Structure 1
């Protein structure tokens, strides 16, 4: 009997070892190295307490990168979920070729971010497709260097990320819509509800679990953004698109390992606090089917 009880634990052991060695141990090591003076210029590592954190907040560069990261996360989370929900509603209706459209809209999220970066770099060039299209429409006053203009560069990067991952958000919403019992929507039709009232009072409340998943995933993903920004601007022009992970990358590139690790710990704490707060709020409005 004792062996039978231990059997599931033995099956879990390899997974726990892998998880511990690849996630738990590096995470704890990161907290340790953030309170040292570890860098490429020193032969030995010394404990310095919270000095790295004091230097981070005194310099102000991290807070500037954090501001850009939060702005980026808010834009991407709102727009990605709005667009994904809109696509899901359209592609669960009786539209012809809806399965083909689902595939087309989902395809970008399986592409390499580096490829997406090259494509949008060409689109955003001063003589690129976007500006040529605006000139064709007679909107020359709207043309700009979309990645070289500090006022719009962060929004341009956000648009690229929204385009890439809205299809993934759409797929989760489609799954949620297909799980809604047909009896509920049919009853609202019999009661004479318009389509918009049906979406507002029947479909959207029952989509709360899918909404929670999508918001949390897009929020965490956008707060951790690195590859999209690095592929398009590397944090430029100047520091107009510098986000926390590109800032951390720069610190590690300069050999300031403890400093970069301290910045990474700050990002970890911010993501954890925001995610748990958002999760607790969103869970309250979920409707159990």
Structure 2
């Protein structure tokens, strides 16, 4: 017990105290420029829920989180299944696909602003392939910007999901798989009735992590679009960042509390849903 005291102390100072103090400051008119802080109750939250920008940011956050979670985990499973086979050079490809997840999100974001620029590498590639009609302003078009940033996020983090699923696949008994082959099952039957039920706990963890991470997204969006164009990629964290930048500290803190509670509620509901799926398997 004594050995975990230092870790608990760090956790309390760097996480618990800021979290609870954030709840308190959201109920005040707090500003670092004021000599005294006045308790105002839920006034900040009333103003927040009367702000159209908050609803738009939450809508984009949910869309972004759902798309990232589905695509990241779908691609992660496919890569893990492929690289769990006897493919030549599989260790090289495992490292290659995992590499983006250890890069800074800001570095990835700023890199893709040049890749997805109207005169960037991606459009140049489309022109070279004779697909000039497909060229777009991927980050400057309000209809495409959110989906473009989603693809960038999936590109960075699919390798992390792949690593989780790969670890789960390598924990499956070879004897069990060999027995199912002897029983005459097809690959798809083994995938459906043997592999995926055993992988269910890993799926729960990976889906939960990707959902939480994408709902808290900031760096990628800040580096690529800054929440634009015209608020088309505004998510909760960029919305909160702009409130603090405007000097609305208590208002921004209230928005942060809303995000915290939203992530917590969605995570708990998702975990219960996924656990029921595991039981059903």
- TM-score past 0.5 threshold: yes
1:216 and 2:216 matched: no
Contact 1:252 1:260 in 2 (8 A): yes
1:168-179 to structure 2, matched below 5 A, reads 168-179=160-171
> Does 2:144 correspond to 1:131?
no
Determine the C-alpha separation between the residues in 2 that align with 1:54 and 1:114: 34
Which range moves more in the overlay, 166-175 or 184-193? 184-193
Contact 1:41 1:255 in 2 (8 A): no
Post-superposition shift, 1:226? 0.3
Aligned residue number for residue 67 of structure 1: 59
Counterpart of 2:195?
A: 203
Separation of aligned partners in 2, 1:138 and 1:196 = 37
Determine if contact 1:216/1:275 at 8 Å carries over to the other structure: yes
How does the TM-score come out when normalised to structure 2? 0.96
Map Cα deviations across residues 184-232 of structure 1 (whole Å, 9 max, x no partner). 2111111221112211221111100110110000000000000000010
Cα separation, 1, equivalents of 2:51 and 2:106 = 31
- Give the Cα separation in 2 of the matches to 1:12 and 1:157: 40
Do residues 282 (structure 1) and 274 (structure 2) align? yes
- 1:258 equivalent among 250, 254, 259: 250
TM-score (norm 1): 0.94
CA distance in structure 2 between the aligned counterparts of 1:107 and 1:16, rounded to whole angstroms: 31
In structure 2, the partner of 1:4 is none
Question: What does residue 3 of structure 1 align with?
Answer: none
- Residues 139-288 of structure 1 mapped to structure 2, 5 A cutoff: 139-286=131-278
Moved more, 37-46 or 233-242: 37-46
Q: Give secondary structure in 2 for the equivalent of 1:246.
A: helix
Secondary structure of the structure 2 residue equivalent to 1:85: helix
Instruction: Give the gaps of 5 or more residues in structure 1.
Output: 1-7
Are 1:50 and 2:38 an aligned pair? no
The answer for the alignment partner of 2:78 in structure 1 is 86
Cα–Cα, structure 1 residues 59 and 41, in superposed 2: closer, same or farther, change >3 Å? farther
Q: CA deviation at 1:43?
A: 3.5
